[in-house]
Protein backbone atom coordinates (compact mmCIF):
# COMPACT_ATOMS: atom_id res chain seq x y z
CA UNK A 1 0.00 0.00 0.00
CA UNK A 2 2.75 2.42 0.95
CA UNK A 3 4.69 1.47 -2.18
CA UNK A 4 1.68 2.41 -4.36
CA UNK A 5 1.47 5.91 -2.81
CA UNK A 6 5.17 6.50 -3.42
CA UNK A 7 4.79 5.31 -6.99
CA UNK A 8 1.85 7.68 -7.61
CA UNK A 9 3.64 10.64 -6.01
CA UNK A 10 6.82 9.93 -7.98
CA UNK A 11 4.89 9.67 -11.25
CA UNK A 12 2.99 12.91 -10.49
CA UNK A 13 6.23 14.74 -9.66
CA UNK A 14 7.85 13.51 -12.87
CA UNK A 15 4.80 14.50 -14.92
CA UNK A 16 4.77 17.97 -13.32
CA UNK A 17 8.49 18.42 -14.09
CA UNK A 18 7.99 17.44 -17.74
CA UNK A 19 5.00 19.76 -18.16
CA UNK A 20 6.73 22.71 -16.51
CA UNK A 21 9.79 22.25 -18.74
CA UNK A 22 7.53 22.66 -21.78
CA UNK A 23 6.37 26.06 -20.49
CA UNK A 24 9.83 27.60 -20.34
CA UNK A 25 10.46 30.68 -22.44
CA UNK A 26 12.93 30.58 -25.33
CA UNK A 27 15.69 33.17 -25.57
CA UNK A 28 17.42 33.72 -28.90
CA UNK A 29 20.14 36.00 -30.27
CA UNK A 30 20.40 37.15 -33.87
CA UNK A 31 23.12 39.15 -35.54
CA UNK A 32 26.45 40.42 -34.27
CA UNK A 33 27.70 39.31 -30.86
CA UNK A 34 28.67 42.58 -29.22
CA UNK A 35 31.83 42.74 -27.15
CA UNK A 36 31.76 46.13 -25.35
CA UNK A 37 35.55 46.22 -25.01
CA UNK A 38 35.97 45.92 -28.80
CA UNK A 39 33.13 48.22 -29.83
CA UNK A 40 34.19 50.95 -27.38
CA UNK A 41 37.73 50.80 -28.80
CA UNK A 42 36.62 52.12 -32.22
CA UNK A 43 37.49 55.83 -32.27
CA UNK A 44 36.73 58.43 -34.97
CA UNK A 45 39.87 59.84 -36.55
CA UNK A 46 42.02 57.00 -35.17
CA UNK A 47 40.69 53.84 -36.83
CA UNK A 48 40.16 52.99 -40.49
CA UNK A 49 38.30 50.25 -42.40
CA UNK A 50 41.08 47.70 -41.95
CA UNK A 51 41.39 48.22 -38.19
CA UNK A 52 37.59 48.12 -37.74
CA UNK A 53 37.36 44.88 -39.72
CA UNK A 54 40.19 43.32 -37.72
CA UNK A 55 38.59 44.34 -34.41
CA UNK A 56 34.92 43.67 -35.13
CA UNK A 57 34.91 41.40 -38.18
CA UNK A 58 32.67 41.78 -41.22
CA UNK A 59 29.67 44.08 -40.64
CA UNK A 60 26.10 42.83 -40.71
CA UNK A 61 25.64 44.93 -43.84
CA UNK A 62 27.30 47.80 -45.70
CA UNK A 63 25.67 50.81 -47.31
CA UNK A 64 25.28 50.53 -51.06
CA UNK A 65 24.70 54.21 -51.78
CA UNK A 66 25.93 57.46 -50.30
CA UNK A 67 28.87 57.73 -47.92
CA UNK A 68 30.47 54.41 -46.91
CA UNK A 69 28.74 53.16 -43.77
CA UNK A 70 28.98 49.84 -41.93
CA UNK A 71 26.22 48.50 -39.69
CA UNK A 72 26.58 45.96 -36.89
CA UNK A 73 23.13 44.75 -35.77
CA UNK A 74 22.32 42.69 -32.68
CA UNK A 75 18.85 41.54 -31.60
CA UNK A 76 17.85 39.48 -28.56
CA UNK A 77 14.39 37.92 -28.58
CA UNK A 78 12.29 36.16 -25.97
CA UNK A 79 9.37 33.85 -26.72
CA UNK A 80 6.88 32.60 -24.16
CA UNK A 81 4.98 29.39 -24.93
CA UNK A 82 2.36 29.70 -27.66
CA UNK A 83 3.26 33.32 -28.49
CA UNK A 84 5.32 35.09 -31.12
CA UNK A 85 8.90 36.13 -30.35
CA UNK A 86 9.28 39.63 -28.89
CA UNK A 87 12.40 41.77 -29.08
CA UNK A 88 13.89 42.17 -25.61
CA UNK A 89 17.08 44.05 -26.58
CA UNK A 90 18.43 45.55 -29.77
CA UNK A 91 21.67 47.32 -30.58
CA UNK A 92 22.58 48.99 -33.85
CA UNK A 93 26.12 50.25 -34.31
CA UNK A 94 26.64 52.55 -37.29
CA UNK A 95 30.19 53.39 -38.38
CA UNK A 96 30.60 56.16 -40.99
CA UNK A 97 33.80 56.42 -43.00
CA UNK A 98 35.21 59.44 -44.84
CA UNK A 99 36.55 59.40 -48.40
CA UNK A 100 40.00 58.21 -47.25
CA UNK A 101 38.53 55.22 -45.39
CA UNK A 102 39.01 56.61 -41.88
CA UNK A 103 36.27 56.39 -39.24
CA UNK A 104 34.31 59.66 -39.31
CA UNK A 105 31.70 58.84 -36.64
CA UNK A 106 30.34 56.00 -34.54
CA UNK A 107 26.69 55.87 -33.46
CA UNK A 108 25.06 53.37 -31.13
CA UNK A 109 21.29 53.06 -30.92
CA UNK A 110 19.19 50.71 -28.85
CA UNK A 111 15.66 49.44 -28.67
CA UNK A 112 14.42 52.95 -27.88
CA UNK A 113 14.61 53.76 -31.61
CA UNK A 114 12.37 50.80 -32.59
CA UNK A 115 8.82 51.68 -33.55
CA UNK A 116 6.06 49.12 -33.14
CA UNK A 117 3.53 49.11 -35.96
CA UNK A 118 0.14 47.49 -35.51
CA UNK A 119 -1.37 47.07 -38.97
CA UNK A 120 -5.11 46.94 -39.42
CA UNK A 121 -5.99 43.27 -39.58
CA UNK A 122 -9.27 43.72 -41.45
CA UNK A 123 -9.01 44.76 -45.10
CA UNK A 124 -6.83 47.07 -47.09
CA UNK A 125 -8.99 49.58 -48.97
CA UNK A 126 -8.30 49.70 -52.70
CA UNK A 127 -9.64 51.71 -55.59
CA UNK A 128 -12.08 50.01 -57.93
CA UNK A 129 -15.06 47.74 -57.55
CA UNK A 130 -15.83 45.52 -54.61
CA UNK A 131 -16.28 42.12 -56.19
CA UNK A 132 -17.34 38.87 -54.61
CA UNK A 133 -15.38 35.63 -54.79
CA UNK A 134 -17.49 34.31 -57.67
CA UNK A 135 -17.22 37.59 -59.61
CA UNK A 136 -13.43 37.30 -59.35
CA UNK A 137 -13.52 33.66 -60.35
CA UNK A 138 -15.90 33.93 -63.30
CA UNK A 139 -15.61 37.66 -64.10
CA UNK A 140 -13.66 37.29 -67.35
CA UNK A 141 -16.15 34.97 -69.02
CA UNK A 142 -17.55 36.88 -71.99
CA UNK A 143 -15.12 39.78 -71.48
CA UNK A 144 -12.47 38.48 -73.87
CA UNK A 145 -13.36 38.85 -77.55
CA UNK A 146 -13.15 36.09 -80.11
CA UNK A 147 -9.87 35.51 -81.93
CA UNK A 148 -9.86 37.52 -85.20
CA UNK A 149 -10.16 35.37 -88.32
CA UNK A 150 -11.21 32.27 -86.40
CA UNK A 151 -14.22 30.46 -87.84
CA UNK A 152 -16.45 31.59 -90.71
CA UNK A 153 -14.45 30.12 -93.61
CA UNK A 154 -12.39 33.31 -94.13
CA UNK A 155 -10.85 32.44 -97.52
CA UNK A 156 -11.97 35.69 -99.13
CA UNK A 157 -9.58 38.66 -98.97
CA UNK A 158 -10.40 41.58 -96.68
CA UNK A 159 -10.87 39.50 -93.54
CA UNK A 160 -10.03 40.70 -90.06
CA UNK A 161 -6.91 38.59 -89.46
CA UNK A 162 -3.37 39.95 -89.31
CA UNK A 163 -2.63 39.08 -92.93
CA UNK A 164 -6.09 39.87 -94.28
CA UNK A 165 -7.49 36.37 -93.93
Q: Which residues contact 61 (CB under 8 A, 6 or more apart)?
A: 70, 71, 73
Per CATH, the number for 24-113 is: 3.30.1450
3-state secondary structure of 74: strand
Contact by Cβ (8 Å): 96, 48: no
How does the average pLDDT of the chain come out, rounded? Answer: 80
| pLDDT, position 68 | 93
Among residues 95, 99, 115, 88, the alpha carbon closest in space to that of 29 is found at 88
Q: CA 108 to CA 92: how far, in whole Å?
A: 6
Q: Structural domain boundaries of the chain? A: 24-113
Among residues 64, 65, 62, 83, the alpha carbon closest in space to that of 73 is found at 62
Q: How many CB atoms lie within 10 A of CB 95?
A: 24
Q: CA 44 to CA 164: how far, in whole Å?
A: 75
Tell me the per-residue pLDDT of 69-84, one tens digit each, with 9 for 90 and over. Answer: 999 999 999 998 888 8
Tell me the per-residue pLDDT of 3-52, one tens digit each, with 9 for 90 and over. Answer: 677 777 778 777 776 666 667 788 898 888 888 899 889 999 899 999 99
Amino acid sequence: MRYDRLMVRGTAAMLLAVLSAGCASIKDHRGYLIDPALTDAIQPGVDNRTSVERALGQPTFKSQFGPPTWYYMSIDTKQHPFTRPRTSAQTAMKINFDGAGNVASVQRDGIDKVVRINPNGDKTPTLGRNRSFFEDLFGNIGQVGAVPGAGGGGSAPGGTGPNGS
